[in-house]
Amino acid sequence: MMVVRSTSMEKVIWHVRSLLPQLESTPITLARRQVGNHVIGLGTLGYLYTALSSVLETLVEAGKMANDLRLKDYTVVMGPEESYITTTPLPEVIPPLPPPREVPPLPKQSVELNTFGCPNLTLGMVKFCVGDVEIAYYLSR
Amino acid sequence: MRTLQKKRVAELPVSQQIKDVLIKVLGPNEEVYVEVVGGRIRVIL
């Protein structure tokens, strides 16, 4: 259950939106283990990702709807089953969210050609070098 | 201008060490092309 006042909408939307890439860049499941009737995903962030995505979607849609209805002061109540907008000012219920942090960019793939000891590459040839001698053959086309 | 010379492996103007390997792999009578590129010897198989 989450209750968000219109005044905090922008802030919460921004916060949740900035948390999603962090979850996205984390491996979803490392292993699954059954404990009694429960399947526990070790390292699982999938449920959290789904929950936060749905919170974000609801908040954005609620904001649009409130705008369409020309509501200035409102409260969005998000429950497990359904969500609604009310003009009654309700106290906010926002779970503590981790502070957003920069997601380090994925390392670029680097391509290194093996020149097999040669100081350069020759178009159309495969070669390797021993000292000043190049042993080469043409690539078939 | 590119100058390619046809040579038998046994006659290659390269060090004996390299020649020995090529002789083992290709045989002494196998013909290969040789050219000089920027002071380096290129053996084209």
pTM of the model: 0.47
Q: Measured between CB atoms, does A130 come within 8 Å of chain B?
A: yes
Spatial CB neighbours of A97, under 8 Å, sequence gap ≥ 6? A15, A16, A19
The partner residue sitting opposite A132, judged by closest CB among B22, B41, B45, is: B41
Q: Which pLDDT does position B42 carry in this prediction?
A: 92
* Shortest distance, CA B44 to any CA of chain A (angstroms): 5
Give the number of domains in chain B.
1
Q: Who has greater pLDDT, A123 or B34?
A: B34
Q: Which pLDDT does position A81 carry in this prediction?
A: 85
- Angular region, A61: left φ>0, alpha ψ -120 to 50, beta rest: alpha
Q: Where are the beta strands (DSSP E) in chain A?
A: 2-5, 31-35, 38-42, 75-78, 83-86, 125-130, 133-138
Per-residue pLDDT of chain A (141 residues; tens, 9 = 90+): 899 999 999 999 999 988 887 777 665 555 666 667 666 666 556 677 788 889 999 999 999 999 999 999 999 999 888 999 999 999 999 988 888 777 666 677 777 777 888 888 888 888 999 989 999 988 876
B15 contact residues in A (CB cutoff 8 A): 131, 133
Structural domain harbouring B12: 5-44
Cβ within 8 Å, pair A136-B40: no
Residue range B7-12: average pLDDT? 92
Top-confidence range, A73-77, B22-26, B37-41: A73-77
